[in-house]
Structure 1
């Protein structure tokens, strides 16, 4: 199963490119599911086929689906009220009717994550193409499963669940209310669901395609997005330069300046990324014929995963080195904090807390350096924890 996550700066044509990608793959015979989350049916407008909460066939081998975040929110809250019925009755709380519920901020993101997980694990398709929100929201969305799992495990550690049978006894002895069984069961279910979503995002078959218009603003947005994706360990399979103007524009016309600006940015991008040019049609693409005219590639070769290797330089320099790729990072925007067995990495506007590899947990941080888009963190063995050689 391949999963392609499509994102880019706002207004760059992400939805159109996502639809064109899915259509190209389907026309090549790949069973494809195209997933979107916009409240407005921009996906259906691009495809020429309305989309909604029920999957629809948009073309041979192509299914499009735009899950209903409002319905999912109502179902989840209704289930939560049922599980907490005894507590609500004890407090005298009035239950909310499904008809009076409106989705809170973030409901669309949660619905998209659930649909992404379900679509990837259903086994009915060979390719999942996901039309993500604009890059800043998309990066926060991709970080959500891991962060929520970390919060859950801090608040309700799994190892404490082993004492479930003793909770009533402990509660009577100590006179302290113990967490209800349903609370731990709910936490375990959420952890399993979030873990399944996280596994899809971390799968070797998952990659990101960035969409941007070539130009100064697009270049800045791409650099920031690539940095955020690298910190999450997600590979960028390709950069799709959208709405590229024709090179044969008259030299004395008004297009000469924008064409020169695009050419400069494209040359810079091609030094670093796999760039696909998507021509400007002179109109907003609508329908299968326009999407095909964009000549967007379908599912290409599997992208190389982002590796964070540890190299052993104890014999030469007395340290282990953790290599963290952070393309586009700037030294003045970097920050590192060791906290127990975790490393807090801040790069520009992004922050991630990652567990240390087992060997590095027995070491102390000895320094760090950023060179050529790679952060190298040095760890010196702690004599009190490091195994002694005979």
Structure 2
């Protein structure tokens, strides 16, 4: 299934262009599912969390974070009933539960899992278009499945489930209840859901489509975003430059705005993948006809731009001064600033910070037997140098 994740700076019209992308793709004959958090003007209304047919080949699902939060917390109370009763806790009814910050993000991840599993159709869709939150929140969301899986493995290691037969005896010895089996089962189930979402995001047919209204603020936001997307190993589909004003307006005010847009577009057009320019309709889109007017270049291509499963690579860079081999791990980080980079080696992992973005990377087997001997950022590529540890990687004559 081809997946396109649509995001951009707040107010750039990403929901509108996500809907236009889905509509044009369906008109091209491919079964398309659009996922949004907000209603789309011109689309039929439906209960949140349920799919509705918009037109032939196009279905729409709207996430419901409040309902998802209530269902998850109620189910957690039911599974933990024994522990709650032991503590004398009072359960909360679904009607009194109010969603907490972060609930929309978890609801969207749950919806992505359902979409990947084909919950709304007997046959999987050909194309999945997802309207993500604004850029900063979207990048945090795309990194979340991997982060949560790492936390679960650290807090509830799967191998500890093998000792479940000993828990009653351990409870008597320690005098306190041991973690219940439901806790490990819940962690395993959540890990499976997160793994499915992570697999969807890492799939070669998944790309990010950026939507921005030309201007200095958008240019700066997109530059930061490209660093985050590269760090998380995600490829970009295209840049949709939205609400382009006429360049030869008789109105001095509009002519000035158009000139500022054009100055920004000149930078974007110089990119190897120039943007698709979407003309301003002169009004807010309110119907399917308006969405179709936004241009057929919104349609999703049959195939994603080719990208490797792993966007990073390792180079054998010769010999060190003492004769040992040197290996270099190359990580493309376009837009990264040297002063904002931070590297920490911890065991078999490398903790990498690039500005506001953070990721924990597991080293390849060959690099685990090496020590970090240096790093440099050159032409948008971070090169981390490794020297083999002679105790772990004996030299050969």
- TM-score, with normalisation over the residues of structure 1? 0.94
Aligned residue runs from structure 1 range 140-179, under 5 A: 140-173=140-173, 177-179=177-179
Which one of 326, 334, 338 corresponds to residue 331 of structure 1? 338
Please say if 1:271 is aligned against 2:278.
no
SS at match of 1:146: helix
Gaps spanning 5+ residues in structure 1: where? none
Give the Cα separation in 2 of the matches to 1:173 and 1:355: 38
Match of 2:45 in 1: 50
Cross-structure match for 1:297 = 298
**Hey, what's the Cα distance between the residues in 2 that align with 1:99 and 1:184?**
28
How far apart, in 2, do the equivalents of 1:164 and 1:55 lie?
41
For 2:36 and 2:307, the matched residues in 1 are separated by 25
Question: Match for residue 258 of structure 1?
Answer: 257
Name the counterpart of 1:208. Answer: 208
1:91-106 correspondence to structure 2 within 5 Å: 91-106=87-102
Shift of 1:205: 1.0
How far 1:141 moved relative to its partner?
1.0
- Distance in 1 (CA, whole Å) between partners of 2:9 and 2:46 is 23
1:302: how far off? Answer: 0.8
Aligned counterpart, 1:138: 138
Taking the aligned partners of 1:255 and 1:67, their CA distance within structure 2 comes to 38
Cα deviation 1:157-215 (Å, max 9, x = unaligned)? 12222222233334445556432211111111111111111111111111000000111
Partner of 1:121: 117
Residue number in structure 2 paired with 1:15: 15
Query: CA separation in 2, counterparts of 1:201 and 1:151?
Result: 19
Check the 8 A contact 1:202/1:234 in 2, yes or no.
Answer: yes
1:187 aligns to what? 187
Contact 1:308 1:324 in 2 (8 A): yes
Query: Post-superposition shift, 1:266?
Result: 1.4
| 1:113-143 deviation line (CA, Å, top 9, x unaligned) | 1111211221431100000010111111111
**Matching residue of 1:78:** 74
Number of paired residues?
384
Instruction: Name 2:84's counterpart in structure 1.
Output: 88
**Local SS of the residue matching 1:343:** strand
The aligned counterpart of 1:3 is: 3
Moved more, 274-283 or 304-313: 304-313
Question: In the superposition, relative to structure 1, how do residues 154 and 96 fare at CA in structure 2: closer, same or farther (>3 Å)?
Answer: same
Per-residue deviation at 1:290? 0.9
Provide the C-alpha distance between the structure 2 equivalents of 1:185 and 1:102, rounded to a whole number of angstroms.
26
Partner of 1:321: 328
SS in 2 for 1:200: helix
Q: Which runs of 5+ in 2 are unaligned?
A: none
Report the Cα distance in structure 2 between the residues aligned to 1:358 and 1:309, rounded to whole angstroms: 13
Residue in 1 that maps onto 2:56: 60
2:357 is aligned, of 336, 347, 350, to: 350
Which aligned runs of 4 or more in structure 1 are off by greater than 6 angstroms?
none
Task: Provide the residue aligned with 1:308 in structure 2.
Answer: 312
RMSD: 1.7
The yes-or-no answer on 1:233 pairing with 2:233 is yes
Secondary structure, aligned partner of 2:350: strand
SS at match of 2:5: strand
| Cα distance in 2, alignment partners of residues 314 and 180 from structure 1 | 53
CA distance in 2, matches of 1:322, 1:51: 49
Distance 1:52-1:278 versus aligned 2 partners, 3 A rule? farther
Quick one: distance in 2 between partners of 1:126 and 1:104?
34
| C-alpha displacement of 1:283 | 0.9
